[in-house]
Structure 1
C-alpha cells in the first residue's frame, strides 16, 4: 500500500474479500452453526497469579509487573497482594497514563530473584445495548483518546486512509463500522509474529504489510478511528480461561497463560458511551481456529464472532490498562509502546518479555466460585 492508493482500490478490495465465494471447507463444515453471543451476565471472580523468577541471575535486578488498573462496568479489581525475595517491593503508577505497576528491586547478593503478584478481579461479558442511552463523557477525557501516541499517529498516511474509508459516513457509529470491516478484510493474523506484535501502524500502511497480531491490528483500528474523529483506545490484558462458546482461539489455558496476552479496543459513540471492539480476534479465528486458513470474512464459523465483537466481548479476559508511551519507574530502557507484559532489567540488560521461558515468568488463573 502506498500514499497514492485510491478509495476505489479500498472499496474493491473490501468487496472482493467480503464476497469471496467458495464452498465451506470440509474440515469445519460441522462448525457452521457455532454461536458466539457474549451477552452481559453475572460477575465472574478470578485469582490471577504472575510469578517472575530470574533463574541463574546474580547482581542488581529490577522487575516490573502490570497491575489491573481498570474500574469499569465490566471489570473491577477486588484486591492485589504480593511477595518476593526482596523487601524492596512497591506499587506505583505511571503519572501520565495512570497505569499501575508493581516494582521490585533486587540487590547484588540476590540469587534467582523472585516476585509473585496475585490479583483478585471480577469480570463480565459485555455487549452494547444500541437502543439504550448512555450519559455523556467528559470532553477533556475524550480529547485524550483522539490524540496520537508514538506508535499510533493520526496524521499522514493514517489520516489519508481513514478519510477514504469513512467518506460519506453519516455518524460515528457508521465510521466505526466501516473501519472495523475494512480492518478485518484488509489485514490478516500472522502467527509467526512475536508476542502481540509491535503496534507500528504507520509502518504497516506504508509498507503494505498488513499482517500482525492484536497489538498491530487493533492499534490500526484505534488509529484509523482517531484519525476519523472518533475517540478510541486499546485495552491491554490477558485471556484467563477457555471461551464458553467453544472457540479454542478465543480463550486461555488457566494453568499456563504464557502467550495469552491480548489487547482489545473501545470506541466512544455519542449516546452509547464506550463500546467494545475487537477486529483482531476476528482475524485470529479466520487464521487459526481451524487447520484451514479461512479467507472469507463471511464464513459461517467467522460470522458470529465478527458480529458480536462489534459492540461486545466475552468476560474470560482481564484488562490491565489503556496506557501508551509508558515510562517504567527506574527503568533504563526507553518508553514502552504499551504495557501488558512483565519487564525486567539485569546487569546483562533488559529481558525479552516475549520470551517467558528465558525471562522466566508464568501467569496462571483460577476461577473462584461464590
Structure 2
C-alpha cells in the first residue's frame, strides 16, 4: 500500500501538494520542509522512493590494531561518524593476536573496491617494518591517511598527536610537584610514538637538571606491561612514573599498591590518552589527553579530499596534547623520596590493602 498523502501532510504540517512535490523530487521546496516530509515518511513506516534514498559515496576501510585499549574504539567511533556525514560507509577492520593481519585486511578491502583506507597505529608506526605496503597503495592511486606514526618514505597525509610534547608535559607536571626520581615506561622502542614520548621525557628532565637514564623501562603495551615496569622502577627508588598509555598507568598503580605504596601520597602516576572512564578509576587518573575527535575528523577530511581528487599535503599534521590533572599525582613526600625504602607494607597494612582491593574488585571498575 502506497503512502497516503493526507497522513504524511498532517504529520509534517504541510499541504498534500507539498508532500507530492517532495515525493516526486520536484524543485521549489525548502530544505527544512523537505526534511520534515521525509522524516514523516520514516516515522509513519513508509519506504522512501528509490530516488530519495541516500546513496553511499563508497566504502572506506578503517584498520585499527585492537579494541581492548579504549582509545581505539574512540577513534573508530569518531571517524565512523565523520565518514557517515559525508556519505561514506566505513568498514572496520580490527586485529587480534593470531587473527587477520593488516596486510590481509588490505587485500580484503581492495577486493571490495574501497574508496580509501584509514590506518590507525598501524605498521607504519613500526620503524622495523617495511613501508613498501603503503607505497604500493599510493602507486595504485588509492587514497590513504595514516594516524599516529610517521614514515617520510610514504607520500601520504599523517595525523599525529605531538608525543614529544606529551612526554614533556608529564615530566614538567611531576617536577612541579617536587619529584626528582621520575620513571618512564611505554611499549617497545621501535614504535615512533614511543620514541617521541621518550625524547620528550628526556628533554624535560635535562631542562630541569635531572637524570633519568637508569629510570626507563620499556615493556609490552597494556596493564601487564605497566605493572612489570613499575615493579622494577620502584625498586630503583622512583617516586613517580610517566606511562605511555592509560592502561599501563593502571598497571603501575596496581604494582605500587602491591608494594604497600599509597597513590598518590607515596607514588604518583601519569597516563596517556584520557580514554573513556579513566576519570572514574581509583584514584581518578592524571593523564595527557590525546585529542581523538579532532584527529579523527582531520584524518577523515584529508581522506575524503583525496578521494574527491583535491590536493592534500603529504606531510604530518601534529595535534597538541593536554595535561588533565586528577587524583593520581600529588606533591612528593620526604618519605617517598628516599631511595627504595619503597615501604614494604607491614602484615597489618598488607591485610588492609588486600581487603580494600577485594572490596573494589567486587564492584564494577575500569
Same fold at TM > 0.5:
no
The structure with the largest strand share of the pair is 1
Higher RCO, 1 vs 2 (CA within 8 Å, ≥6 residues apart): 1
Structure (1 or 2) with the larger CA radius of gyration: 2
TM superposition score normalised by structure 2: 0.24
TM superposition score normalised by structure 1: 0.24
